[in-house]
Amino acid sequence: MRQIEVSGLSAWFGPKKVLHDASVTTEPGMVTAIIGPSGCGKSTLIRCINRMHEEVRGARVEGKVLFDGIDIYAPEVDPVEIRRRIGMVFQRPNPFPTMSIFDNAVAGLRLGGRLPKAELAERAERTLRAAGLWDEVKDQLGEPGAKLSGGQQQRLCIARALAVEPEVLLMDEPASALDPASTLRIEELVDELKEKYTVMIVTHNMQQAARVSDRTLFMLYGQVVEFGPTSKIFTRPDDRRTEDYVTGRFG
Report the nearest approach of other proteins to the CB of residue 224 (Å): 18
Instruction: Give the HSE-up count for residue 125: Cα atoms under 13 Å, Cβ half-sphere.
Output: 7
**N residues, the chain:** 251
Tell me which stretch binds other proteins (CB under 8 A): 11-19, 26-34, 169-177, 243-251.
Answer: 243-251
Residue pair 95/153 in contact by the 8 Å Cβ criterion: yes
Tell me which stretch binds other proteins (CB under 8 A): 22-30, 105-113, 134-142, 232-240.
Answer: 232-240
- Could you say whether residue 242 binds other proteins (CB under 8 A)? yes
Q: Report d(CA 85, CA 191) in Å as an integer.
A: 20
Report the nearest approach of other proteins to the CB of residue 19 (Å): 19
Report the nearest approach of other proteins to the CB of residue 36 (Å): 11
Candidate list 1, 17, 21, 37; residue touching other proteins; CB under 8 A = 37
Tell me which stretch binds other proteins (CB under 8 A): 67-75, 125-133, 189-197, 234-242.
Answer: 234-242
From the list 147, 152, 150, 123, the residue with the least C-alpha distance to 135 is 152
- Could you say whether residue 207 binds other proteins (CB under 8 A)? yes
Candidate list 57, 114, 117, 250; residue touching other proteins; CB under 8 A = 250
Q: Which residues pair with 172 in a beta bridge?
A: 202
As to burial, measured by CB atoms within 10 angstroms (0-12 exposed, 13-18 middle, 19+ buried), residue 31 is: buried
